[in-house]
Amino acid sequence: MTPFSSFSRPRTSGLATVELRGDCPRVTVEVLDAICRAQDKNRTELVNEILNAWAKQKLVEASLIARVTRGNPDAAEFLGELA
């Protein structure tokens, strides 16, 4: 699991964008680069599209889960079992 400190807000939290870095499997980057060539995009544009779509889907999931479990005693009990 990633340490919580990895998710802390950067000192540049007032900016609209921040830098994201990390190692990726070579084959994944090769596929991304091939897609970039086919779509005439740079790697950053493609990765931002992918991450934005993923983030939106996770927000939809979280919203749905919150709505379904709000005030649901079975869900609260289940959370207690997990602790």
Local structure of residue 4 (DSSP, 8 states): G
* Structure tokens, 57: 């889907």
pLDDT for 35: 98
Confidence of residue 77 (pLDDT cuts 50, 70, 90): confident
pLDDT tens, residue by residue, 3-37: 655 665 656 667 888 888 999 999 999 999 999 99
CA distance 83 to 69: 17
pTM of the model: 0.70
In a domain, 7, yes or no: no
Residue for token pair 């900016």: 15
In a domain, 34, yes or no: yes
| Interval 45-65 mean pLDDT | 95
Number of domains in the chain: 1
Average predicted confidence (pLDDT) for the chain: 85
The amino acid at residue 83 is: A
Domain residue limits at 26: 21-82
In a domain, 6, yes or no: no
In a domain, 75, yes or no: yes
